[in-house]
Every structure is written in C-alpha cells, then in structure tokens.
C-alpha cells in the first residue's frame, strides 16, 4: 500500500527526532514547491507536537521583479495561513563581490545568517528547510565530481546541530508536486533553476536523467541509500576522531592546538587525516579552502620532512613542529607580514653578530 505524503513526513520526523513538544519552528520559504509543501507538512503535524510556526523569506534581489513577486507571494501565503512572516532583502551580487564568493556561496551565507538572527531574536528552537531526496542525491553527485571523501558523499543530514531540520529529506520532487496539485496549492517557479551555468542544474537536468535512462532507473534511490550508509559510518568516525583527538591533545585555546607528535605518529592514516582536520577546525572555526592536499602536506611536513620550522595553510593557519609536539595556530596577522617580520629579525641578528 502506497504511503500518503503526510505519513512519510510524520515517519521522517519520528525516525530522526526532528521535533519536540512545543517547538517553535522557523520555516525557510522561497515560494517554490518544496518550501510551500514543507509549511503544509508541518501544519499537518502541528497539533501532535503543539508547534508554533513562523515563516522566513530572504529576497536575494537577483531576479529583480521576479524576486519581488516571490516575496509578495510568500508574504500572502503566510498571511492566509495566519503565520508570522519574517522577511529581508539583501543584494547578494554585491555581497558576493565584497567577500569574493560565488553567487551560490554568497546566497547561502546571507540566507543562513538571516535565519540565525531571526531565530535568536524571536526565540525559534528549530529552523526547517525544504531539502528533498532529489537535493540530497544532487549534492552527492556534485561532491563525487569534485573528488570529495566519505563525508561529502554522505549528503544532507535530516537534522544538524539539533537545530536545522529537513522533514522532506525522504520524499521526491514528483511526490511534492503531486501533493500540491491534490491540495490545489499554488507555488512559485524560480527561472534560475534552469540556468545551466550552475553545476547543480546541469546534474539535475542532464546527468541524472541520463544515468536513469542508460545505467540505472533507480539511481536516485541507490545514491540516497549510499549517502545514508556513509552518514552512519561518519557518525562512528566522528566519535572515534573525538576520542583520538582528546588522547593526543596536549593543550588548546581559542587560537592554537598542541598535539603529541609521538601519539599522532601512531595513528592509522585514515584517523590521522581526521584528527588534523578537527584540529584545524578548532582554531579556524571552519574548513573552508582546506582540501585533501593540505592535509597531505601537513602529514609530510610533520613526519616525513626533517627540516622546516613551519607550514602555512589558508585562513592564516600556521603549523609548527618540534621534537615532541605539533602546534596548529591561527595567526593574528596575515602570514606574509609575519614572514617578513621574521626575515627582518633574522637579518638584524646576523648584522649584530657581524659587528
């Protein structure tokens, strides 16, 4: 017997403990079918969990009149459902240029900053986004093409930090469209979703259909299953990484981490990579611009190269080593300035010795 759409959502909420009693949920709504269906889905389980629901809409100002029409639609949608509306407009193109980001990266930055600020200001305990099974599979393929590891291939989690929830992560886009048709519910269509300049759109409209027609009709389910398997394994690896990191840790503060060189040398390469990534994250607060090659350089520098005092990484991260320890530090100043100062100090010392 085929499960009803709302039953799938209810099962997902239960399986991943997405909601707790009396949660106050901020729903990210673009006006597209996924986010509109997300609101209706949460309203369907509102009584069971005694939810308080609000709607958040970010106008990225990328499509001029179309973006404004989306905002007006979402505001009206919230009003018709008697839900609180939170809206904001941000010039994403300008933000992307100022911060040297792609449009996609800039859009995500301003969007999630807006969600966090709104949630904090109004006391929302959960932030719901409309990611679907299709979105998860597309991300897996994107990361596969980029050469990501198992974490990248584990896709989109149903819940992150016990705060961001994805109740639609087990449903397909076609199921959402059928659900909205049955409900006679209108939604907006984003014209940029067909722009092939974006890798995700190429995967959605070209690669996935070809994989389905020529290789595996069930490719979406297969890749979704792969991501679920890897996510469970990542949960295990995260626990083991924490254990080994704490075992090797000598001391730490907000700007530096010192690890035992001897204990680190005993780790299997798979866990060594992860412990180094965790150490960088501790001082950098993210892993942006840190790739597999950087971790390989760290390993070579720390264990295979007898000479050298330090190794520089993106984000003003510098790795130091001595006989007993490895120190990962975030410098206050750009590394080039520090390097020039060190060179000047050595030059001054040599001049003094020559007098």
Bridge pairing between strands 325-330 and 310-313? unpaired
Would you say 250 and 287 are in contact if contact means Cβ atoms under 8 Å apart? no
Distance, in Å, from the CA atom of 156 to the CA atom of 166, rounded to the nearest integer, reads 9
Task: Render 112-150 in DSSP notation, one character per residue.
Answer: HHHHHHHHHHHT-SEEE----HHHHHHHHHHHHHTT--H
Q: Is residue 27 a contact partner of residue 56, using CB atoms and an 8 Å limit?
A: yes
User: Which residues contribute to the annotated binding site for ATP?
Assistant: 30-35
Which residues touch 79 (CB under 8 Å, ≥6 apart)?
85
Q: Is 328 helix (H, G, I), strand (E, B) or coil?
A: strand
Which residues, in sequence order, are CB contacts of 89 under 8 Å at separation 6+? 58, 59, 61, 71
Pairing type for strands 126-128 and 249-252 reads unpaired
Contact 207, 49 (CB under 8 A): no
Q: Which two tokens stand for residue 40?
A: 């209706």
Query: Using CA atoms, how far apart are residues 254 and 143, in angstroms rounded to an integer?
Result: 30
Going by the annotation, the residues of the binding site are 30-35
CA 10 to chain CA centroid, nearest Å: 24
Q: Is 158 exposed, middle or buried (0-12, 13-18, 19+ CB in 10 A)?
A: buried
Q: Distance of CA 69 to CAs 59, 72, 75, 188, 278, Å?
A: 10, 5, 10, 9, 43
Say if strands 52-59 and 159-160 run parallel, antiparallel, or are unpaired.
unpaired
């Amino acid at each position: 017997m085929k499960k009803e759409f709302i039953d799938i959502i209810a099962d997902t909420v239960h399986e991943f403990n997405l909601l707790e009693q009396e949660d106050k949920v901020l729903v990210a709504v673009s006006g597209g079918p996924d986010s509109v269906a997300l609101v209706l889905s949460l309203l369907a389980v509102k009584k069971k969990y005694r939810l308080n629901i609000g709607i958040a809409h970010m106008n990225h100002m990328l499509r001029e009149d179309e973006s404004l029409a989306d905002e007006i639609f979402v505001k009206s949608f919230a009003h018709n459902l008697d839900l609180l509306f939170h809206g904001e407009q941000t010039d994403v193109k300008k933000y992307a240029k100022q911060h040297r980001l792609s449009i996609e990266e800039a859009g995500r930055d301003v969007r999630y900053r807006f969600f966090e600020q709104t949630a904090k200001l109004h006391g929302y305990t959960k932030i719901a986004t409309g990611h679907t099974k299709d979105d998860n599979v597309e991300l897996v393929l994107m990361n596969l093409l980029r050469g990501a590891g198992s974490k990248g291939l584990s896709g989109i989690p149903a819940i992150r930090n016990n705060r961001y929830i994805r109740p639609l992560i087990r449903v397909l886009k076609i199921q959402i469209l059928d659900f909205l048709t049955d409900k006679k519910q209108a939604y907006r269509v984003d014209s940029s979703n067909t722009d092939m300049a974006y890798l995700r759109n190429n995967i959605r409209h070209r690669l996935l259909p070809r994989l389905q027609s020529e290789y595996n009709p069930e490719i979406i389910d297969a890749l979704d299953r792969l991501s679920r398997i890897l996510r469970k394994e990542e949960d295990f690896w995260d626990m083991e990484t924490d254990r080994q990191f704490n075992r090797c840790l000598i001391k730490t503060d907000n700007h530096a981490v010192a690890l035992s060189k001897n204990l680190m040398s005993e780790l299997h390469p798979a866990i060594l990579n992860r412990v180094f990534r965790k150490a960088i994250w501790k001082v950098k607060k993210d892993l942006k611009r840190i790739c597999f090659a950087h971790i390989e350089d760290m390993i070579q520098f720390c264990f295979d190269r007898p000479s050298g005092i330090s190794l520089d990484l993106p984000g003003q991260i510098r790795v130091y080593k001595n006989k007993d320890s490895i120190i990962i530090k975030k410098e206050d100043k750009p590394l080039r300035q520090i390097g020039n100062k060190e060179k000047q100090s050595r030059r001054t010392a040599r001049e003094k010795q020559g007098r």
